[in-house]
Chains A and B, each alone.
Chain A
Amino acid sequence: DTEVTQTPKHLVMGMTNKKSLKCEQHMGHRAMYWYKQKAKKPPELMFVYSYEKLSINESVPSRFSPECPNSSLLNLHLHALQPEDSALYLCASSQDALAGQSEQYFGPGTRLTVT
């Protein structure tokens, strides 16, 4: 099983809403990632979790709050977003974030629209 699943597939939210994006993998990977991708642009790294600990935060605004409840799950809590936050949010996982080939497997993404 080399699948990373993400829910929901699409999300429309107002600027005052609170919502969460969810990501799950059952490959035994110990590193998980959140990326943001705008149309016709490459994915941009937001957060890296390694062994359930936040390892990298790429200076992401606090209206995005990641959480890793266990080694298989990764959430991204959203609050008071801006229209410019509308994008495809991709979750990825890899065997680890420290060494080796360790390619990242991406989920299908959540397409977020902030109105």
Chain B
Amino acid sequence: GQNIDQPTEMTATEGAIVQINCTYQTSGFNGLFWYQQHAGEAPTFLSYNVLDGLEEKGRFSSFLSRSKGYSYLLLKELQMKDSASYLCAVRLFSGGYNKLIFGAGTRLAVHP
């Protein structure tokens, strides 16, 4: 089976840094994505890792270690609008096609 684990909830203070971890045990790994989802809205793409290491995009960075089955999303200079769910998704190559399997998501609350 496929297993993706993330913390259920996190809280942080405006202006601070927060790290959201994701561990996975899957077959056919073909990349890892992070999405942001505000309540009642569609997920929006944040970052993508397929090779080990750090990818930086403005205030957001994502790290991947394939040997450890581990990724994290780092959010810097937190803003109130960053309060949302953050979904870790593993892309699997299955039956000749890619598909995404999502973790349960981490609900982040940013406080003043």
- A residues adjacent to B (C-beta < 8 A): 4, 41-45, 48, 50, 55-56, 90, 97-99, 101-109
Contact = CB atoms under 8 A, between A and B. Distances in A.
Interface string B19-47: 00000000000010101000001111100
Contact of A56 (B41, B42, B44, B99): B99
Contacts of A48: 97, 99
Interface residues of B, number: 24
6 contacts: A41-B104, A55-B97, A103-B45, A104-B45, A106-B44, A108-B42
B12 interface: no
Contact of B41 (A41, A50, A98, A108): A108
A76 to B, nearest CB: 16
B95 interface: yes
Contact of A42 (B48, B94, B96, B105): B105
Given A41-B104, A50-B97, 15 more contacts: A42-B89, A42-B104, A43-B87, A45-B101, A55-B96, A56-B95, A56-B97, A97-B97, A98-B96, A98-B98, A99-B98, A103-B45, A104-B45, A108-B41, A109-B42
A14 to B, nearest CB: 24
Contacts of A107: 42
B102 interface: yes
A109 B102 CA distance: 17
Contacts of A4: 42
Given A103-B45, A109-B42, A55 B102 contact: no
A106 B33 CA distance: 13
B110 to A, nearest CB: 19
A48 B92 CA distance: 13
Nearest to B50: A101
Contacts of A45: 99-101
Interface centre among A4, A90, A99, A103 (most CB of B within 10 A): A103
A56 B91 CA distance: 14
A42 B42 contact: no
